[in-house]
Structure 1
Amino acid sequence: MKKIGVLTSGGDAPGMNAAVRAVVRKGIYHDLEVYGIYGGYAGLISGNIKKLELGSVGDIIHRGGTVLYSARCEEFKTKEGQQKGIEQLKKLGIEGLVVIGGDGSYMGAKKLTEQGFPCVGVPGTIDNDIPGTEFTIGFDTALNTVIDAIDKIRDTATSHERTFIIEVMGRDAGDIALWAGLAGGAETILVPEENFSMDDICDRLKKGSERGKKHSIIVVAEGVGSGVEISQKIKELTNYDTRVSVLGHMQRGGSPTASDRVLASRLGARAVELLIEGRGGRAVGIVKNELVDYDIIEALETKKHEIDMGMLKLSKELSI
């Protein structure tokens, strides 16, 4: 293999640039030509592809977002769109592709793999919902952003003696809510992986009030539902004064943490090694601080992301 490509797709995540840097420099170190595909799968179809040099990825390891940009692409979901992408790669003699992104990005890599074009997936999403890896690039940075917001909101909640509901991202996964809620000392954490009762939530608030507690923090994963709706239900059942903060896309931004930079560098470099070894159709991850790789098709079809229910149990025990 002499030429490889790299693209970022789906929602941006802090650390994607560190992963791109690792792919480019690891590839060049092994005498490969590395090409950047700009604008995700849409850029692949249109042929927005440029050769990258060492300097192309200088001074990006600390930057959030993605220098290769990202875009949604409905056309690439079709076999015709996928064939257009493969043709663009073949025009330049590109023989393998590193795809950095979440499950939608992995699905695109899976489709290319099924059509005989070797791809390696690198997990880049703040949601931490990719099967086969304990952590994804961007999760740690997003987590610290949320914790910082919880700490600031707690100051206001204390001053005004109110219950604050903080809605965080994560799509259908509750990892951000769980980890941030536990680290931020939230009284209640709502995640889509566990059913909840409004009566139970209100009972916890009432018990806290009875022992003199003046404020509470409730962290809600977006996969559970609207923080505003939950706030309204609490108001109806308890008449407590509640406020809602929806953190939104601020969770995707910012300079990546050291942890995300290191993870991205390790995963990006390993993806290149797999292509050099002729092992396309794989995805990389980290388990117990060891790099792993697995069949990307099998992972998407059979594995499911799971949340640490022990941590959720602990959060309840510590927030009595």
Structure 2
Amino acid sequence: MKRIAVLTSGGDSPGMNAAVRAVVRKAIYHDCKVFGVYRGYAGMMDGDIKELNLGSVGDIIHRGGTMLYTARSEEFKTKEGQLKAVENLKKHEIEGVVVIGGDGSYKGAQKLSEHGIATIGAPGTIDNDIPGTDFTIGFDTSLNTIIHSIDKIRDTASSHERTYVIEVMGRHAGDLALWSGLAAGAETIMLPEVEYNMEEIIDRLERGAKRGKKHSIIVVAEGIGSGVEIGETIQKQMNIETRVTVLGHIQRGGSPTGFDRVLASRLGAHAVDLLLKGKSGLAVGIENNQLCSTSFDEIFSKPHEIDTKMYELSSQLSI
């Protein structure tokens, strides 16, 4: 294999640039030509494909977002859109593609593989919801952004003796809420994977108030519902001053942490190694700090699961 392409797709995540850099430089090291596909699958269908060199990825390892830009595409979900994309790849004589993104991006990568283009996925999403890897690129950076935000909000909550509901990202996955809530000492963590009981949450807040607790932090994963509505319910039932903060897209931006830079570099390089070995239809990952790969079929067959022991610990420590 002598001509490889790389693209980023779906929601951006800190560390995507580091992964792109690793793919480009690893491929060039092995005497391959590398092409960047701009704006994801939409750009692939539009032919927005350009050759990259060593300088193309200089000075990006520390930058958030993605230099290749990203987009979502409904057209690519159709067979006609996929064939259009494949035709553009073949015009550049591209034999293999590294797709950096989440589960939706992986589904697109699987379609490319079925159309005869070798594809390897690399998990780029802050949600940490991809089976086959302990961590996804961007999760650690987003986690630290949330923790810093909660720490600041706690100062205000303590000063004004208020309860704060903080809504974090994660779609249908609660890893960001669980990890940040445990790290920031939240009194309650609400996850889509765990059925919650509002009466129990109210009871916990009331017990805290009776022993003199002046403020509380409740972390809500967006997949569970509206943080605003949950805050309104608490304020109405307890008659206490409650504020809601929706952190939103601030969680996606920023310079990637050292962990995410190293993770992205390792996974991007591993993806190139697999392509050079003739592999396709796989996603790279890291388990127990060892590089691994998993077929797309297996990834799609597994539901995302949280660490139940960690969730139990968070409840035990927030009594």
Task: Give the TM-score normalised by structure 1.
Answer: 0.99
Q: Which consecutive unaligned segments of at least 5 residues does structure 1 have?
A: none
Distance in 1 between the 2:152 and 2:253 partners? 18
Q: Which consecutive unaligned segments of at least 5 residues does structure 2 have?
A: none
Distance in 2 between the 1:52 and 1:65 partners? 18
Q: Secondary structure at the match of 1:60?
A: coil
How much does 1:280 deviate? 1.0
Distance in 2 between the 1:35 and 1:297 partners? 27
Q: Secondary structure at the match of 2:224?
A: coil
2:86 touches 2:115 (CA, 8 Å); kept in 1? no
Distance in 2 between the 1:4 and 1:303 partners? 29
1:190 maps to: 190
1:77-97 CA distance string (max 9 Å, x none): 001100111000000100000
List aligned pairs for 1:28-177, cutoff 5 A. Answer: 28-177=28-177
Q: Secondary structure at the match of 1:99?
A: strand
Distance in 2 between the 1:167 and 1:293 partners? 33
How much does 1:116 deviate? 2.0
1:307 maps to: 306
Q: Which moved more, 1:245-254 or 1:105-114?
A: 105-114
Superposition misfits of 4+ residues, deviation over 6 angstroms = none
1:295 maps to: 295
Aligned positions, number: 319
Letter in 1 for 2:117: F
List aligned pairs for 1:256-271, cutoff 5 A. Answer: 256-271=256-271
Distance in 2 between the 1:18 and 1:309 partners? 31
1:12 maps to: 12
Distance in 2 between the 1:61 and 1:311 partners? 32
Task: Give the TM-score normalised by structure 2.
Answer: 0.99
Distance in 1 between the 2:276 and 2:302 partners? 26
Letter in 2 for 1:316: S
How much does 1:128 deviate? 0.3
Distance in 1 between the 2:130 and 2:295 partners? 13
How much does 1:210 deviate? 0.4
1:24 maps to: 24
1:318 maps to: 317
Letter in 2 for 1:247: L
Q: Secondary structure at the match of 1:243?
A: strand
How much does 1:114 deviate? 1.8
1:195-244 CA distance string (max 9 Å, x none): 00110010000000000000000000000000000011111211111000
Q: Secondary structure at the match of 1:170?
A: coil
How much does 1:135 deviate? 0.3
How much does 1:297 deviate? 2.5
How much does 1:298 deviate? 2.7
In the alignment, structure 1 residue 228 sits paired with structure 2 residue 228: yes
1:280 maps to: 280
Q: Secondary structure at the match of 1:50?
A: strand
Distance in 1 between the 2:254 and 2:228 partners? 26
Q: What is the percentage of aligned positions where both structures have the same residue?
A: 69
How much does 1:108 deviate? 0.2
1:157-211 CA distance string (max 9 Å, x none): 0000000000000000000000000000000000000000110010000000000
1:243-301 CA distance string (max 9 Å, x none): 0000000000000000000000000000000000000111000100000001112321x
Letter in 2 for 1:318: L
Letter in 2 for 1:280: S
